[in-house]
Amino acid sequence: MAELKETNGQMSRRSFLRQSAYAATGLTALAASLSPLLEYDEAPTLDDFLQKHYKELSEEEMNTILAGIEDEVEKEYGVRPHVRDLKPMSGVEFVYALNLSRCIGCRKCVHACVAENNQSRDPEIQYIRVLEMPNGTLDLTESNHEYDPELVPREGYFYMPVQCHQCRDPYCVKACPVEATWQEPDGITVIDYDWCIGCRYCMAACPYWARRFNFEKPKLNAEQINTDMSYLGNRPRPRGVVEKCHFCLQRVREGRYPACLEACPTGSRKFGNILDPDSEIAYILKNKRVFVLKEDSGTRPRFFYYFDV
């Protein structure tokens, strides 16, 4: 810094102007960096802040939290949902199979999932990603997920929907630094949205690009909120958390099929309890030539693909 002349211990005009200009610049820069706070409207309450991890919650605490979620959704969207905490059924392990000979790539499953699970419409989150692959290869580098022809299926291509495979050896669970995601006894890998810090390590770890992040506050359509919600499943998520397919646990833990399966017009999707030897999924794994994606990665997915004809 140049030597500043000071007269009689007082600051000169020049140095005053210079220093105030620097101060003004500094303050402007500070204001610019803090400007996102202008949009911050989700300051947590003390209860939110002190909320424990899902696994440590007692039943009363959980009921209070569920009531709180119902209140919030009602305030925001005008409909009061019914939020439950569904526990896994015993003796059940869910496995999904998909018949690639039948999938026509219509993406009905994608949008049925969006409707069922209250996913953000803007920016749009879709748990299921349908890949268009040329016939004769399973090389995923040849896939195209942005296909938009007039009609599907296109000649010479087959269609492979990908969603969370609920792997038996999940990398995402290992990668999470705060244990916001873990695998439940019925095989579903779940996320506690109130515990997730949004670091996205799990997204980096997943070999299947199954997880989605809420970069902005999810915008839902109030007319189409699915009010049948569960804490770990399809309740509306806050900004800054990761979400993914959870096999519609609000449905399957009550014995129903996931929404994607019911929507599929060609019946390509099959689901069930693999621990039941008479289930249709057990029949498929025993009798069809099933394979998994990225088998060499060692994740041991619970999502099998097969060709039928």
Partner 1 sequence: MFDRLKSMKTQVIYLLGFLTLAVSFLAGWWQMPYARREVTTIDSTFTELKTVRMSASQLYERGGDTSMIECYSCHEQGSSPVLEFNEYGELIWEEHTIDFELEHGSSHLNEYCYNCHNQENLEQLKNAEGMVLDITQSNVLCGGCHGTTYRDWTVGIHGRQSGFWNSELGDHKHEDCVSCHNPHSPAFQPLPPWPGPQSLRPVHPSSLDSTSHEE
- Compute the radius of gyration of the chain from its Cα atoms: 25
Lay out the site mask for partner 1 across 128-167 (x = CB under 8 A, - = otherwise).
Answer: -xx--------------xxxxxxxxx--------------
Tokens of 253: 């833990």
Among 44, 178, 221, 298, binds partner 1 (CB under 8 A): 221
Residue 85 Cβ, how far from partner 1 at the closest point, in Å?
Answer: 18
Which residues neighbour 104 within 8 Å (Cβ) at sequence distance 6 or greater? 152, 153, 159, 265, 266
Secondary structure (H, E, C), 52-65: CCHHHCCHHHHHHH
Number of Cβ within a 10 Å radius of residue 91: 10
**How crowded is residue 302: how many other Cβ atoms within 10 Å of its Cβ?**
23
**Residue 107 within binding range of partner 1, rule CB under 8 A:** yes
Decide if residue 185 touches partner 1 (CB under 8 A).
no
Q: For the CB of residue 158, give the shortest distance to partner 1 in the complex, in Å.
A: 14
- Tell me if 91 sits within 8 A of 187, measured CB to CB: no
Q: How far is the CB of 247 from partner 1 (least distance, A)?
A: 11
Residue 266: CB minimum distance to partner 1, A: 7
- Residue 275 tokens, joined: 């621990």
Pick the stretch among 64-72, 80-88, 233-241, 257-265 that binds partner 1 (CB under 8 A): 257-265
| Closer Cβ to partner 1, 69 or 285, answer by number | 285
- In whole angstroms, the minimum distance from the beta carbon of 270 to partner 1 comes to 6
- CA 50, distance to chain mean position in Å, is 24
Beta carbon nearer to partner 1, 285 or 292: 285
- Residue 263 burial (CB count, 10 A): 19
Write the single-letter amino acid at 129: R
* Of the candidate residues 13, 32, 37, 58, the single one contacting partner 1 (CB under 8 A): 32
CA distances (Å), origin 143, targets 33, 140, 159, 173: 40, 5, 9, 27
Whole-angstrom distance, CA of residue 208 vs CA of residue 244: 11
Q: Find the binding residues for partner 1 in span 266-295 (CB under 8 A).
A: 266-267, 270-273, 279-280, 283-284
Residue 217 as a binder of partner 1 (CB under 8 A): the answer is no
- Using CB under 8 A, count the residues that bind partner 1: 69
Q: Is 239 in the site for partner 1 (CB under 8 A)?
A: no
φ and ψ of 128, to 5 deg: -95, 130
C-alpha 227/C-alpha 232 separation (Å) is: 14
Asked whether position 195 contacts partner 1 by CB under 8 A, the answer is no
Is position 77 an interface residue for partner 1 (rule: CB under 8 A)? no
Q: SS3 of 292, please?
A: coil
CA distance 127 to 134: 23
As a residue count, the chain comes to 309
Least Å distance, CB 104 to partner 1, is 7
The residue within the footprint of partner 1, chosen from 66, 245, 248, 264 (CB under 8 A), is: 264
Query: Does the protein bind partner 1 through residue 16 (CB under 8 A)?
Result: no
- Binding stretches for partner 1 (CB under 8 A): 1-2, 18, 21-22, 24-25, 28-29, 31-33, 35, 89, 99, 104-108, 110-112, 114-116, 121-124, 126, 129-130, 145-153, 219-221, 223-224, 252, 254-257, 259, 261-267, 270-273, 279-280, 283-284, 308
